[in-house]
Structure 1
């Protein structure tokens, strides 16, 4: 039985991945600040403290793989100066803690698999973004660069590294889709801005399969866009959700860009930004998406 450490293991993706690993016979250890509050009796919980830069070394020494998902939710709060720094620190300091622990303690970790985001890229212009395209110079671009750089240090320890630049994760249990669905409870399919901005998305089941594939496929290394093959506009995504959930029983409404800017401040830039990322590199490894179109994804989620 191989052992996987997960940081951010109680979040949306971490919970789904934990369940998948347990079903496949893996032992899972979740790093958390409060292991005594762990509720899943099938997993082990171990303490880490990002601010103090400490973690349970006995847990680390059991691990064959580390899946690094930890990071403050980008969309949870308004982007004040303090919140923006918290978002960066939660990613880079946690990565540095993992690196230092691996560097200074005997361990058998074969591979580290880390989250990143398609926020790495700028605004889509003439072609879908590939993994070799340069980063944006905006807040999420520079945050993603720092995030990836901080975890890339593990390569110097002769560890394999996979980084997934993840698009919008489609799940009814959390994330952006849960927010998009709220107005639909009252019959409104609400479009943000013009709705023409491209969204690179992925069904949560496909994302979990990607992480699992990175564990079992020894040849998988490097950076990959974790996005479905068929990006859509924001309007297309919301209407696909509305159709799957409500049939024709909804009214389309719009929230103008200026209202979003008043409500969200700088975060509105990201809500309205058009990002079209290519899935070709991960598909070329042989990975096949279970939900390649947003219609298939929504039908599964709202069936």
Structure 2
């Protein structure tokens, strides 16, 4: 039985990915800052301690692993972007990567694959919404998220020098019933309002949680995968289309489309509103060329499945 060590395993993506790994017969070790009261809640899952700020990690857990999936990082839109929180966003990603790199470098291990999260924040904003999708070879944007993603990816890259296969998944907006962006989109819809952000023309590059987890597992199982791949669905949509389709799935025809003015979003979100309003069209052609097939390639199919649960 192969062992997968996961960082960020208690988050939205980590929990679902853990479930899918267990279903496929993997053993999972979750790196966490605090052990749960019951350290063996499910068969084939266990927990090990690490503390990024104090640079400590359970070396035994690292040495047991055949693969490492690195998801850890502070939420990008969870808090106001103060200088202190922006530093936390960066450090939580880069310092955790460095801790993994150091553990692998300084200790004997059998790790064959490291799969690291990244984000489509790497690319910045579209010049023309939907016109020329970003691809993996495009340069990083010089804005905050672009610089953060670049540092994030650079911080895990040294594992390649250890002859460990490295895959980086630049992830789009993840649609899940367990939280994240979809939970925020649903709030006004529950009140009968389809809250379109700004003019609604900004493109959203999204992915269904099931497809994202399947992509992480593919990155482990397909030894031909290495380097950077965009983890987004084949059909990006405008914010308006996503919002209207969600309202239809939740309320049928009983909703009122309302445009939320840009100035209101800026008051509510501060500098984070830049990301909410940014158009970001990203291509998934590279991962598709490896044979990966999406279960939810279109927003209608994805939202229908999520809203039926």
- The bucket for the TM-score relative to the shorter chain is over 0.9
- Partner SS, residue 213 of structure 1: helix
| Structure 2 equivalent of residue 75 of structure 1 | 77
Alignment partner, residue 18 of structure 2: 18
Aligned to 1:190: 195
Q: Distance in 1 between matches of 2:173 and 2:164?
A: 28
| CA-CA distance at 1:153 after TM superposition | 1.2
Whole-angstrom CA distance in 2 between matches of 1:245 and 1:187? 9
Deviations 1:141-188 (A, max 9, x none): 000000000011111111100000000001111111101101111111
Question: Any unmatched runs of 5+ in structure 1?
Answer: none
- Pairwise mapping of residues 56-95 of structure 1 onto structure 2 (< 5 A)? 56-95=58-97
Partners in 2 of 1:274 and 1:255 — Cα distance?
Answer: 16
Which sits farther off after the overlay, 120-129 or 193-202?
Answer: 120-129
Say if 1:38 and 1:45, in contact at 8 Å, map to a contact too.
Answer: no
- State the partner residue of 1:291: 296
Shift in Å, 1:38: 5.9
Q: Quote the Cα distance in structure 2 between the aligned partners of 1:63 and 1:288.
A: 27
**Structure 2 counterpart of 1:215, from 184, 208, 220:** 220
Over the aligned positions, Cα root-mean-square deviation in angstroms equals 1.0
Q: Distance in 2 between matches of 1:111 and 1:261?
A: 41
Aligned mates of 1:239, 1:204 — CA distance in 2: 20
Tell me how many residue pairs correspond in the alignment.
Answer: 303
Residue in structure 1 matched with residue 157 of structure 2 by the alignment: 152
Shift of 1:254: 1.5
3-state SS, counterpart of residue 149 of structure 1: helix
**Displacement of 1:36 after TM fit?**
3.7
2:31 partner SS: strand
Select 1:251's aligned residue among 215, 235, 256.
256
Alignment counterpart, residue 272 of structure 2, candidates 262, 267, 273: 267
Rate the CA distance shift 1:170–1:231 in 2: closer, same or farther, 3 A: same
The TM-score with structure 1 as length reference comes to: 0.98
For the pair 1:124 / 2:126, whether they are aligned, the reply is yes
Query: Any stretches of 5+ residues in structure 2 without a counterpart?
Result: none
**Over residues 17-41 of structure 1, what are the superposed CA-to-partner deviations in whole Å (9 max), with x where a residue is unaligned?**
1001111111100000102446733
Partner Cα separation in structure 1 for residue 165 and residue 8 of structure 2: 20
